[in-house]
Amino acid sequence: MENRLAQEMMENPFAEEPKRSSTWYWQIFTGVALVLLLGLHFIANHFIATGGIRDFADVVSYLRNPIVLVLEVLFLIVVAIHAMLGVRAIVIDFGISSQAEKRLSQALTVIGVLTVGYGLWLTWVIIH
């Protein structure tokens, strides 16, 4: 039974029941948010920054715009969550123990926090 289900899922994931775990919903929520944020990011890059962001001074003045700053920081946080959840899903697919799964989640949380922290630090350095 188990064997057959696995076989079918390999054959056709469209037949698979949607996974309704909380991480799955987080992945969808952050994913949809990223589509919106990336759209806004493109608009901000091409239309708010008149003449485009071409040199260092342009980057600094772009990030000093408070709306842009909020948008970019939000983008960084959401993308980090989405990326870590994605990596988690791929690694878990290799069939790891629940103990390993716990350690994986902890490690990815640390990596995600470091990633966001680094981005925030970099942003701070650039605008000051």
Contacting positions for another protein (CB under 8 A)? 2-3, 6-7, 10-15, 18, 20, 24-25, 28, 31-32, 34-35, 38, 54-57, 59, 79, 83, 86-87, 90, 93-95, 115, 118-119, 122, 125-126
Q: Which residue, 35 or 50, is less far from another protein as judged by CB?
A: 35
Q: Which residue, 14 or 66, is less far from another protein as judged by CB?
A: 14
CB of 39 to another protein, least distance (A): 9
Q: How far apart, in whole angstroms, are the C-alpha atoms of residue 101 and residue 88?
A: 8
CB of 90 to another protein, least distance (A): 6
Q: How far apart, in whole angstroms, are the C-alpha atoms of residue 85 and residue 27?
A: 7
CB 115 within 8 A of CB 80: yes
CB of 108 to another protein, least distance (A): 11
Within the chain, how many helices (H) and strands (E) appear? 5, 0
CB of 92 to another protein, least distance (A): 9
Q: Which helix (H) or strand (E) holds 8?
A: helix 2-11
What tokens does 9 get?
């899922």
Q: Which residue, 105 or 115, is less far from another protein as judged by CB?
A: 115
Q: Which residue, 28 or 67, is less far from another protein as judged by CB?
A: 28
CB 35 within 8 A of CB 28: no
The residue to which tokens 């926090």 are assigned: 113
